[in-house]
Amino acid sequence: MCDYIYQSGNKCLEPPIAFSSRCILHSDISDIHKLDYPIVKEFKDQKIVEKIQNNDFDFEGAKIFSADFSNVQFLNANFRNVTVSGEILFKSAVFNGDSFFDGAKFKDHVNFTKAHFFGYTGFNTVIFTKYAGFGEAIFEDTVSFKGSKFFGQTSFENSTFQKNTEFEESHFKGPVFFDRARFYGEVIFYTVIFDTILSVEDAYFRKPAVQEIVCRHARNNCEKRSDKHEADNYYYFEMEGKRKRKNLFRKTIELPLQYVFFYGVFPLYFFIVWINFVLFFAFIYWIFEGVSASPSLFSSVYFSIVTAMTPGYGGINPKPGIFQGIASIEAIIGTFMWAAFIAIFVRKYAR
């Protein structure tokens, strides 16, 4: 019998091949110099097809050259400690039950694009040497990448995580993209290392705490790379998540911080808000003839601008009564907003 011992403690029951103490799947790839490579690969491929046809999805410890599992319907897939030297594809594969890839080593591209995982999925302590693709994959249950290492580009773009996603102690040496991904559960990023790019553009987070944590990681990653523009974008969404975590009263009164001042990171948007603020008061002065000059739209806009920037009218004054009060309110709020705009502008472009 093959001398490979499964994690459960049971031995593999398959017969060993020539020049090896292990069966065709468990025979080490480094032994192929003793046999004819094409023949060994053919036998391995045949064994994989045979196991799939028999609904046997236990590949624990297998040594695989390359394989295409695209569109396969798995049930309780076990790929623990698998070593794959070539490209392996799981495109549009369906994983029913729990699936385990813990300890696997993928030495070439691995592609799970549009794969669908219905049970718990474990990718713990996996080594992804090159590209790892999980684009448009759907994880219906918890998925864990604890302690895994990603040496190439990793893509989770447009993926869906219905429950918890765990990345503790994972190390991304290449760029990782979660753009347009959807997170409905917790995301655990404790002690994760990102050496290059972490991108979560247009990602959706059902839980505000998750949005805050993930966007903080992305912001810190951008600041480390001196990408201040993207860091500001992530800071905005980090603060949005932080606001949404608060009670109804506090997150309501903090709405202007987000939608008027934009948390101090988007001066152009804030300037547009200030212009609309000025025009709003200008239309009030114009429609109700609230200024002492001729009741033209131009005069009203001019009066509103100088009131909002600094109360110096230069021959145009508000009419006595209610319009003096309106002008006072505009002067207080408008002057504060103009000073805030200058501060935001300087912060954005003078650092």
Q: Provide the residue ranges of all domains of the chain, joining segments of one domain with +.
A: 1-56, 59-206, 262-349
- Identify which of 186, 178, 258 has the alpha carbon closest to the alpha carbon of residue 218: 178
**Percent of the chain scored above 90 by pLDDT?**
70
Phi, psi of 297 (to 5 degrees): -65, -40
Q: What is the pLDDT of residue 316?
A: 80
- What long-range pairs does 331-337 form, CB within 8 A, spacing at least 24? 331/307, 333/277, 333/308, 334/274, 334/277, 334/278, 334/281, 334/307, 334/308, 334/309, 335/308, 335/309, 335/310, 335/311, 337/260, 337/270, 337/273, 337/274, 337/277, 337/308
Q: What is the pLDDT of residue 313?
A: 61
Answer whether residue 34 shows pLDDT above 70. no
- 260 three-state secondary structure: coil
Q: What is the pLDDT of residue 347?
A: 81
Question: Using an 8 Å Cβ cutoff, are 4 and 83 in contact?
Answer: no
Number of Cα atoms under 13 Å in the Cβ half of residue 154: 25
Q: What is the pLDDT of residue 4?
A: 85
For 340, counting Cβ atoms within 10 Å of its Cβ (0-12 exposed, 13-18 middle, 19+ buried), the class is: middle
Answer whether residue 110 shows pLDDT above 80. yes
Please give the mean pLDDT across all residues of the chain.
91
CA angle (88 as vertex; 84, 91 as ends), nearest 5: 150
Q: What is the pLDDT of residue 351?
A: 59
Strand partners, 84: 64, 106
Candidate from 123-132, 251-260, 289-298 with smallest mean pLDDT: 289-298
pLDDT bin (cut points 50, 70, 90) of residue 30 is low
What's the CATH class of domain 262-349? Answer: mainly alpha
Answer whether residue 273 shows pLDDT above 90. yes
Strand partners, 177: 155, 199
Query: In this predicted model, what pLDDT tens digit does every residue of 132-185 receive, in sequence order?
Result: 999 999 999 999 999 999 999 999 999 999 999 999 999 999 999 999 999 999
Question: Using an 8 Å Cβ cutoff, are 22 and 2 in contact?
Answer: yes
Query: In this predicted model, what pLDDT tens digit does every residue of 35-54 receive, in sequence order?
Result: 566 777 888 889 999 999 99
User: pTM (2 decimals)?
Assistant: 0.85
Question: Using an 8 Å Cβ cutoff, are 170 and 146 in contact?
Answer: yes
**Number of other residues whose CB lies within 10 A of the CB of residue 193:** 10
pLDDT bin (cut points 50, 70, 90) of residue 329 is very high
